[in-house]
Structure formats: structure tokens, C-alpha cells
Amino acid sequence: MRKFRVYSLALSVLFAFIVLGLHAQDEPQPKPKPKPAATAPAKKSSSSAKSTAATALAGPVTLVVICDLDCTWKLDGETQRPIVGGTSAKVSVQYGEHLIEATTADGRDSLKVDRTWKDPGQSILQFALKPVTDKRVTLERGFWIDPDSKLMWAAHDSGRSDLTYRQAAAYCQELSLAGYTDWRLPARSEIEDLERGTRESYFRLDNMRYRTSTIDSDKAYVMWKGGKGNFFSLDFPVGSALCVRRSGE
């Protein structure tokens, strides 16, 4: 009887272990925590890379800007310190292409240039604004007086380039400009003197050939823009008329 009780107790314990084991299998098992993924180093953006490359290429270029008139100026669209006529301003620029623009103090005339620098050092940029202003004033008022010869020149030619000698002469004789009516065709020497140097920059010369009053027999001299010329028949339709008169008369 005692042995039966021992066996019965052993079976009860065994049965309890079996029940507990089945219950444990039914419960969800905790999942192992995933290991944190290795963080890859952040890649530099293309713009950042370009910026770094540009910084590496930056060089000590000293730009010296000179204006012959009082002016304001810009470097790549950014306004810089104004310049008094005849003086200069300095600024450091990086390697590469840059746009520089100078404007007269009244804002009416300007010049702009593109420059590319690849080497360090100093670069001088001069803006000649006075010829630009003089040309504008000449074209607006319609004439220009040569300070050396004292000749008064019409700012515009006849526009046509197929005039005979007589048509060109008539154009000047009939011209009424700046209150004067005594305009005429220039002599060969007068228009050649005008052509030399930079004086023609004061004019809007639209044509390549200009009639003169210089006659040799039945031919009149026609000057090409550039200083050269030849004699042509009085009735040959070639050349334009640029009129002149003696100032002070």
C-alpha cells in the first residue's frame, strides 16, 4: 500500500511537469532584439563637393578697377565702392570667370567686360567712360566740334551709300542742323584727318564709303571707312554724305 502511494505521487509530479511543458510551448517566445545596423558615413552632396573644389581652387587675384569718370561698379552683380574719376579701387577675386560693369555717376552710360583669371597676381582693368558719354552727347545734339581743327561735323551721315557726287553735295547744301544751313561736303584731307585716331568714335558711321569735295578732272575722291579711298566718276552712285562746316562762322 505504501509503494502504491509512492508510485501515485510520482505519477502526479510527472503529470504536472508535462502540463507545465505544454503550457510553456503555447506562450509566445520573445524575439531576439535585432542588432543595430552599421551606420554608413554620410555622402557629400555634389554641390558640397563642388564648393569644396572651388575653395581649393580659390586664388589670390587682386583686381584693380580704374574709371576715367566718377562711376559706380559691380563685380558679378554685386555693387562695390564708388570710384572717383581718375582713381582706383581694389578687390580680391577668386579664380574663374567674372563680369565687371562700370556706370557713370548719372547712370546714363556704362561698359561691361568678362574676364577669366587662372593665375595669382594683380590685374588692372580700366574703364574709359568719357568716350562713351561724348558719343552719346554728340548723337543726341546732332553734331561734334573738333577741338583741334574747329570743324563742326554732323553726327549722322546721309544714311544712303549709293549717292552720286551731285546728290551728296546737294544733301549737305540742303541740310539744316543746329541752326546752321552752311553745311558742305568735306575735303579729302578733312575727312582723312577725321578718320585718323579715334575721332570717328564720336559718330555713328553707318556706311563704308564717304563722298568728298575733292575733284580731279571728272572724278571725285571717295574715302573708305578705314582711311583708304579712290577717285570715282561724278555720276557713279557710290558713297554717303557726311557733312561739315567751319565752327565760329
Could you report the per-residue pLDDT of 69-88, keeping only the tens digit for each? 999 999 999 999 999 999 99
Are residues 241 and 198 part of one domain? yes
The whole-number pLDDT of residue 60 equals 83
User: Does 142 have pLDDT greater than 50?
Assistant: yes
Domain boundary among 128, 150, 183: 128
Residue predicted with more confidence, 3 or 178: 178
Averaged pLDDT, 223-229: 80
178 is a domain residue: yes
Number of domains in the chain: 2
User: Does 14 have pLDDT greater than 90?
Assistant: no
Most confident of 9-18, 20-29, 129-138, 224-233: 129-138
Q: Residue 200: which CATH number?
A: 3.10.100.10
Q: Which three cell numbers stand for residue 246?
A: 567751319
Are residues 147 and 239 part of one domain? yes
Q: Residue 119: which CATH number?
A: 2.60.40
7 is a domain residue: no
- Amino acid at site 168: A
User: Does 33 have pLDDT greater than 70?
Assistant: no
pLDDT, mean over the chain: 81
Low-confidence winner among 32-41, 82-91, 182-191, 236-245 (lowest mean pLDDT): 32-41
Instruction: Put the strands of the sheet holding 88-93 in their side by side order.
Output: 88-93, 61-67, 121-127
Are residues 209 and 115 part of one domain? no
164 close to 195: Cβ distance less than 8 angstroms: no
Name the band, by pLDDT with cuts 50, 70 and 90, for residue 55. very low
Are residues 168 and 242 part of one domain? yes
Are residues 151 and 122 part of one domain? no
Are residues 163 and 118 part of one domain? no
Name the band, by pLDDT with cuts 50, 70 and 90, for residue 151. very high
Are residues 193 and 238 part of one domain? yes
Averaged pLDDT, 223-238: 88
197 is a domain residue: yes
189 is a domain residue: yes
Name the band, by pLDDT with cuts 50, 70 and 90, for residue 148. confident
115 is a domain residue: yes
4 is a domain residue: no
- Provide the domain limits for residue 169: 142-246
* Residue 118 main-chain phi, psi, to 5 deg: -120, -15
Q: How far apart are CA 189 and CA 96, in angstroms?
A: 48
Name the band, by pLDDT with cuts 50, 70 and 90, for residue 247. confident
Radius of gyration, CA atoms only, the chain: 45
The whole-number pLDDT of residue 202 equals 64
Name the band, by pLDDT with cuts 50, 70 and 90, for residue 191. confident
Are residues 151 and 101 part of one domain? no
Q: How far apart are CA 201 and CA 204, in angstroms?
A: 7
Instruction: Put the strands of the sheet holding 71-75 in their side by side order.
Output: 78-79, 71-75, 96-104, 110-117
The whole-number pLDDT of residue 164 equals 96
Name the band, by pLDDT with cuts 50, 70 and 90, for residue 53. very low
Are residues 178 and 94 part of one domain? no
188 close to 229: Cβ distance less than 8 angstroms: yes
Averaged pLDDT, 163-178: 96
